[in-house]
Homo-oligomer: A and B are copies of this chain.
Amino acid sequence: MPEPGDGEVLIKTLYMSLDAANRAWMKGPSYRDAIVDGDVMPTFALGRVVESKDASVPIGSVVEAEGLWSDYFLARAGNLRIVPDVPPLSHHMSILGIAGKTAYFGLLNVGRPKAGETIVVSAAAGSVGNLVGQIGKLKGCRVVGIAGGAEKCSWLVEELGFDAAIDYKSGNLFKDLKAACAGGIDVYFDNVGGQTLETVLFQMNLYGRIVCCGAISQYDTKNPIGPQNLPGLVVVKRLRMEGFIAMDFPEHEARAETELRTWVKEEKLKVIEDIVDGLENAPRALIGLLSGENRGKRMVCVAME
């Protein structure tokens, strides 16, 4: 059991977020240092403070912080955020956590869709994708999801209100997209990169926007093949491709949280959570996430209280 020093607190892990980013971190240094063999996996975590050496963080507080794949971890008081101790706490990992903010800021601040425009989102049944589609619908857009498997696709349309969903595993992505997006694509929210990005680029409208959220298709590829139509189509169609992470918009955090909370309360937004029990199942659950077995936000429940 680690001992908190001055200004630190000891946190009991309740939930750990599982993200494609965990895999990306192993690829090399990025906005953070690379994770290398022997490191404990870092994670966005929700926990309860069990010991405190900082007056600003009382014992019993529910906090979010960068934690580790472990039952307990230390954090500096300045590096955590106390969140309301209101159930369900798992919402801090999904709709009010990184997934919710990634979808919200990526779609609205980066993609900036106008009502009536067509949005395509890949990994549409995933933690971020399902929210991108639902938020797109709330903003008056036509929304088309790309996901793996017929079952996920019908779920997107029937349960989440997507206008259409395309099974990329069927092998007809180009034709299926063409059929689903007769007027072309205005905003593409890209979670996968690679071949899918290349295919979508051909169908973007003039002044279209590509929200670059992830490139999950590339993380396990030794010699990834870049989209052949880049940057050519960006020039010809005057596209904007832009990367971001959820933490890039601190000045808009409050608005995002209020709006997301309100949508959930008013039942305009469904919160889809995929909770795996037990710390020992984290590795398997991450591998499963990367092969697309989750629906909505996957997280690990390490302890209930």
Contacts and interface: CB of A to CB of B under 8 A. Distances in A.
Number of this chain's copies in the assembly equals 2
30 contacts: A30-B236, A190-B231, A193-B230, A193-B231, A193-B232, A213-B235, A214-B235, A215-B231, A215-B235, A223-B228, A225-B225, A225-B228, A226-B226, A226-B227, A226-B229, A227-B230, A227-B231, A231-B243, A233-B243, A236-B243, A238-B243, A238-B245, A239-B241, A239-B242, A239-B243, A240-B240, A240-B241, A240-B242, A240-B243, A241-B241
B235 A228 contact: no
A72 interface: no
A237 interface: yes
Contact of A212 (B24, B212, B214, B234): B234
A133 B276 CA distance: 55
A253 interface: no
A293 interface: no
Interface of A: 24, 30-31, 190, 193, 197-198, 206, 210, 212-215, 218, 223-245, 248
A47 B241 CA distance: 39
A219 to B, nearest CB: 9
Contacts of A206: 31
A266 to B, nearest CB: 32
Contacts of A212: 231, 234-235
A201 to B, nearest CB: 10
B241 A234 contact: yes
A229 B228 CA distance: 12
Contacts of A224: 228, 232
Given A226-B226, A234-B242, 16 more contacts: A30-B236, A31-B206, A31-B236, A190-B231, A193-B230, A210-B231, A215-B235, A225-B226, A225-B228, A227-B230, A227-B231, A234-B243, A235-B243, A237-B243, A238-B243, A242-B242
Contacts of A241: 231, 234, 239-242
B232 A215 contact: yes
Contacts of A237: 31, 243
Contacts of A214: 235
A226 B230 contact: yes
Contact of A197 (B198, B231, B244): B231
